[in-house]
Amino acid sequence: MEKAVKRSKAAAKPRRVGSRFNKKNTKKFIIAIFVYLVLFDLAFVFLYPFITMIIDALKSEADLLNVTVKWIPSELRWDNFKTAFEGLNYLTYFKNSVLVTLISTIGHTFVCAFIGYGFARYKFPGRGVLFAGVILTMLVPTQVLIFPMYITFSNWGWLETYLPLLVPCFFGFGLRGGFYVFLFRQFFMGLPYEMEEAARIDGCGPLKTFLKIMLPMSRSSLLVCCVLSIVWHWNDYFEPSIYLNQSPSLALLPSKLPAMYAALNQVASEAEDISVSGDVIINQAVCMASTFLVILPILIAYMFVQKQFMEGVERSGLTGM
């Protein structure tokens, strides 16, 4: 059956090729080439840091010192990854990071969608002031509020647990919580109003309308929120380093990177091998390999979500209906 379809397609092809040489198709072809050229150029700029990172991660000490070796190392040092893997204590911290990232992403995605819906669709006194408050939470960096926060959490006995990282996410706060509220507000504003109105006339309550009608329609914004939340939580090292200061067993995966880079920068000019608290010998290559290992899980996760993101939504656009 499939073969038959293929054959019929193959038979149809020559005709199309023949008609390609008319004026309209030539124009299309030139535009396509131009688009690809622009995209590849831009992609290079975007990929540049990533490529340098991988190449540096594979260099040997001699290559790191040699300025002429930029793109092609004389030998590939796969051992750097092994050293990095051991130095990061990868498996232990990987589990911690996955746990924290998953829980906080679930909290952010659902609760911020809920809050954002309220801001997008309901008018009530004080809405403007409250929304200005959301903008303010986006604007003030964590660093400024960290001292009073630390005192609060220590009064509640939450220090050295994951609670300060997880609980605020379920109230629309936490790492960039305000941004997700804003995101959902904007996306919901773009959706047509008719379906909710119909649901309300049919006697559907506000909660049910939100869960059964709005959430299924906002697949793409939910996915974007998920992706961004996963990436930002995974990479965050500032808050965990403050709240989990005394308990190494709870540490998250990226928490070792700043220490590694700091140690590296101290002796950067000498490019010698140095060791961080007697764990492993590190150099620039090992640092790069560690960085690569830290972001590898979210890279893989993104590649999967990216596909999801583009498939189902393709023909189901609702904006402007």
Partner 1 sequence: MAANKSKKKMMTMRTRRSLEGVMFISPWIIGAALFFIFPLVISIRLSFSNLVSVAGFQMEFIGIDNYKYLIQTSTTYVPNFLAEVKDTAINTPITLVFSLIIAMLINKDIKGRGFFRTAFFLPVLLGTGYVMQQLLENGMSNVVSVPDSILMAIGPTFSTIVSDFLIRITEVLWKSGVQIILFLAGLQGISGSLYEASRVDGATEWENFWKITLPLISPIILLNFIYTMIDSFTDSGNQIISDIEHCFENGALARGAAMGWLYFAFTFIVCLLALFIMSRLTFNQGER
Contacts to partner 1 from residues 12-41, by CB under 8 A: 32, 35-36, 38-39
Q: Does 195 sit near partner 1 (CB under 8 A)? A: no
| Residue 59 Cα distances to 64, 157, 290, angstroms | 6, 46, 13
Size of the residue set binding partner 1 (CB under 8 A):
102
**What does 188-230 look like in DSSP terms, one character per residue?**
HHTS-SHHHHHHHHTT--HHHHIIIIIHHHTHHHHHHHHHHHH
- Out of 42, 62, 198, 271, point to the residue binding partner 1 (CB under 8 A): 42
Element containing residue 7 per DSSP (H, E)? helix 2-18
Q: Does 62 sit near partner 1 (CB under 8 A)? A: no
Q: Does 203 sit near partner 1 (CB under 8 A)? A: no
Q: Does 307 sit near partner 1 (CB under 8 A)? A: yes
Q: Does 240 sit near partner 1 (CB under 8 A)? A: no
- As a residue count, the chain comes to 321
Q: Does 162 sit near partner 1 (CB under 8 A)? A: no
Show the binding pattern over residues 72-101: x = contacts partner 1 (CB under 8 A), - = does not. Answer: ------------------------------
- Residue type for position 215: L
Residue 29's contacts (CB-CB under 8 Å, 6 or more residues apart) are 20
- Out of 135, 211, 267, 281, point to the residue binding partner 1 (CB under 8 A): 135
Give min distance, CB of 290 to partner 1, in A: 10
Restricting to residues 204-223, which ones interact with partner 1 according to CB under 8 A? 206, 210, 220-221, 223
Give min distance, CB of 152 to partner 1, in A: 6
Element containing residue 262 per DSSP (H, E)? helix 256-266
- Out of 7, 127, 208, 212, point to the residue binding partner 1 (CB under 8 A): 127
75 versus 271: smaller Cβ distance to partner 1: 271
Q: Does 139 sit near partner 1 (CB under 8 A)? A: yes
Q: Does 186 sit near partner 1 (CB under 8 A)? A: yes
240 neighbors 251 (Cβ within 8 angstroms): yes
73 versus 153: smaller Cβ distance to partner 1: 153
How far apart, in whole angstroms, are the C-alpha atoms of residue 97 and residue 232? 12
Give min distance, CB of 183 to partner 1, in A: 6
Give min distance, CB of 62 to partner 1, in A: 20
**What does 10-38 look like in DSSP terms, one character per residue?**
HHHHHHHHHGGGSHHHHHHHHHHHHHHHH
Backbone angles phi, psi at 66, to 5 degrees: -80, 115
Which two tokens mark 87? 């130095």
277 neighbors 283 (Cβ within 8 angstroms): no
> Candidates 6-14, 232-240, 244-252, 271-279 — which segment interacts with partner 1 by CB under 8 A?
232-240
Give min distance, CB of 226 to partner 1, in A: 11
131 neighbors 119 (Cβ within 8 angstroms): yes
